[in-house]
Structure 1
Amino acid sequence: MNGPNRPLMIVAVVLAALGAAALVVVALTPDDEPVPPIAATGTHAVTAGAVGARFARAGDCLINDGTEAEPVLRLVSCGAGAYTVLARFEGVTDADRVCAQVQGYEYNYSYDSPLDTELDFVLCLRPV
């Protein structure tokens, strides 16, 4: 093919080869993030669509998979070892102040979003 289309054809072949090479590199690059388990065993079975404290509401139950200093809360079926959410307060992080008005609370959890105070929240909890 020796016409005005030849340079265009060469560019198209080079771009296709570069695109294919990029796909191979992406497909063969390992993902460093571990995949979380789909289900848990024992008393605290994960409910469908299990999520953390961000979506917890009054009446839900949570379990701490982390430590007291660095909690990692997830929604579970209520049972021994879990905490019941007594109240949720949006847009605040002063957990001691807001939970003081909640009868029966023993523990609290606060989330201070780096993005916006509208995403901040406090959970007032008690053991099940």
Structure 2
Amino acid sequence: MTTGPSVTAGIRPVTHLYLSEVTSDSVSVAWSAPAPPADLFILSYSSADGTDTSKVTLDGSKTRSLVQGLLPSTPYTISLITIQGDVTSEPITASLTTVENYYNIMKRYCLLNGKESQNISFD
């Protein structure tokens, strides 16, 4: 007796994942809708060292999801599984590395030798 959906070749799963808008802590994941339509998708991610993982179940009408809470400068594998009825597809995967964390610091003035500068601009 099985406790979950079975894996079979009888469905047409998503064939491509598209990754965009990669930041230090997020990535946008998109895919084309399968035919026939999916009932559900399982979107998951895992860092290369396995310390950062997560999984979410999405409605079958979705074709895009924003994955948030990633770690900066970290390689990840994104995985998407299609579920149609009792049938589960093999996962399709894509890899990425999040960008380095950076800070945008704007200074209003500069101190040189303990004195406020009148000639330096930070435009």
TM-score interval (norm. to shorter): under 0.3
Tell me which protein shows more helix as a share of its residues: 1
Q: Which has the higher contact order (CA 8 A, sep 6+)?
A: 2
TM-score (norm 1): 0.27
Q: Which has the larger radius of gyration?
A: 1
